[in-house]
Each structure stands twice: as C-alpha cells, then as structure tokens.
Amino acid sequence: MNQIKTLLLTEYQKRKSSYWWPVWIIAGLIGLSLIAVLVAVIIDSPNIVVYGGIDEGAMGLRIGMYGVMFSFAIIFLAFMGLGAQTSLNREKQLGSDLFFRCQPASVWKVTGVKYFMHVYASSILLLGVGLIFALLLSIVSAFYVDGFYLGQALYGAFLGWLNYLKLVLVFGSLCYFLSAVFKNNALLKGAAVLGILEGLFAIIEVIFRHTITLPDVFVTLGKMVGNMGLDDIDTVNMSMVMGDYRILFGLLFAAGCFVGGTLIYKYRAKDV
C-alpha cells in the first residue's frame, strides 16, 4: 500500500503542472467572461439568458451544466491525451528509466499507477471544477429563474463528468497503449497509423467493389464511448449517458490497451 501511495504521489509530482493547466485555462475563460459581463454592466444593462431552451428552471440548469461540462471536458481531454501519450516512454526519453526500474516493485503495479494517473486522475480535477461551477451557476441563476436548483446543476455536472470518463476510457487508454508502442510523439504516430489503416480498409473495399464492408476505425472507437446524450440533450439523464451496452466494449478495449501496453512495455524495456 505504501508503494502505491508513493507511486501515485510521484507520478503527480512529475507532471503536476499539466494536471493544473486545464483548470487555469477554464478559470481564465470564466474570468474573461466575468470581465465581459462587468463591462456590459458598466456600459449598459446586460441581457443575460441563462438557458433559452425548453425550461429555464431545474431542467435548464441540468442541461446547461451538462453542456458546460462538455466544453470543460474537451480542454481536459486535450491535456490528458498529451500526457497519456508519454505514460510509458517519458522516463526513457529523460534517461531516468533505469532508476525507476531498479526499485523493488512489480511492473504491473508501476504501470497500473501510471495508467490511472495519466488517464483518469485529471477527471478528479474536472469533477472538482464542475462541482464549483455548478454551485456558482445555481447561485447566479437563482436571480434569473424561479428557484435555487443546486441539485439539478450538480446532476448535470455529474452526467458531464461521466461522459468525460467514458471518453478517457477509450481515448486515454488508446494513448496509454500508443506510449508503449512509440518512443516519442505517440499520439501523432498513432493517429497516422489509424488513418493509414482506415485508408487501407477503404482501398480494400474498392478493390472488392464494395462487396465487403470493413469497419471504420475512428467510428468504431467513437461507438465504444456509447451515447454522449448530445442528440437528445433536452432530456439528458443517467440512463441515456450510462445505459448503453457499447460502454462494455469500451471497458474491454481499455483493459486490452492496459494489458497490451504493459506487455509491450515489459518486452521493449529489455531493448536498452
């Protein structure tokens, strides 16, 4: 247990700033928005529309928060991807891999912590940011709509957070896997390989005059995330976000990426 605690803390310390960058960016964007509102108030009376959809009350706050979390998630996802693509190759790039390999800990324990810290740890910060924003949004909106709907705002934030988890489950796990395959620029090289694969499938389909159908690589990956609830955002709820069997494929894919990535890492570690 002590080793896991140490590994978690050290992984955080190694890339502390990249965890916090999305938070600072979001804080900056919110700050700019507040300045804009302030300027609008000074110049003229602002015309603030909390939600212009079907319901300005409870449901409106849930949907609004869900949408806000989605935009936050994109920022977090970008930083998660950049970090996760170095999960298993950064130490080698820095020349410190032998120091870490000289510690009495199993490879699975070490890579398990790396996988968690690079893929999922940022979601904790996103949840924190989401909860704070939900509180602020429900307080502000209380002045414009009939009632204080903190519960609905939190629910919307939570649904948005679950969506982020589904995204990182597939996308983050893929980045982790790519970090074992490529020594540097894993994300770029991985995307190129997948793009080539996609093109190859398309060529094969043309050669066979479309008598066979091969999977669309990127669409297949996207499907494993399951329903994002964006088509029916007006009624977004838990069963819509989580009640999709395709998430099971996402879980299997993530497990495969972790096991496959770690096995490749173990094998390649001996190519010093």
Partner 1 sequence: MEHVISVQGLTKDYKQVRALENVDLRVPRGRIVGLLGKNGAGKSTFLKCLLDFLRYEGDIAFFGKSVKEWKYDLHTRVAYIPDVSGLDPRLTVQQTMDYAAGMNPTWNAEKAERLFAKSELPRKQKVKTLSKGMKTKLYLMLTLAKDVDILLLDEPTLGLDIVFRKEFYDLLLGEFFDETKTVIISTHQVDEVENILHDVIFIDHGRVKLHETVDKLKKDWSIVEVSADREQDLMAFNPKATSRSLGKVRGLIEGDIKLSDAIIAVPSVSDIFVAVVNQ
Residue in 8, 265, 30 with CA at minimum distance from that of residue 130: 30
Least distance to partner 1 from the beta carbon of 244, Å?
39
Backbone angles phi, psi at 104, to 5 degrees: -80, 75
Least distance to partner 1 from the beta carbon of 39, Å?
40
The pattern of x and - marking residues 165 through 204 that bind partner 1 according to CB under 8 A reads: ----------------------------------------
Select from 54, 101, 140, 248 the one that contacts partner 1 (CB under 8 A).
101
**Of 11 and 244, which has the nearer Cβ to partner 1?**
11
**Of 15 and 166, which has the nearer Cβ to partner 1?**
15
Residue in 50, 226, 266 with CA at minimum distance from that of residue 152: 50
- Alpha-carbon span 74 to 173, nearest angstrom: 16
Expressed in percent and rounded to 5, the helix, strand and coil fractions of the chain are 75, 0, 25
Select from 37, 39, 74, 98 the one that contacts partner 1 (CB under 8 A).
98
Select from 42, 43, 49, 106 the one that contacts partner 1 (CB under 8 A).
106
Least distance to partner 1 from the beta carbon of 103, Å?
4
**Of 9 and 192, which has the nearer Cβ to partner 1?**
9
Contact between 36 and 129 under an 8 Å Cβ cutoff? The reply is no
Contacts of range 48-53, beta carbons closer than 8 Å, 24 or more positions apart: 48/144, 50/140, 50/141, 50/144, 50/145, 53/234
Residue 102 interacting with partner 1 (CB under 8 A): yes
Least distance to partner 1 from the beta carbon of 185, Å?
19
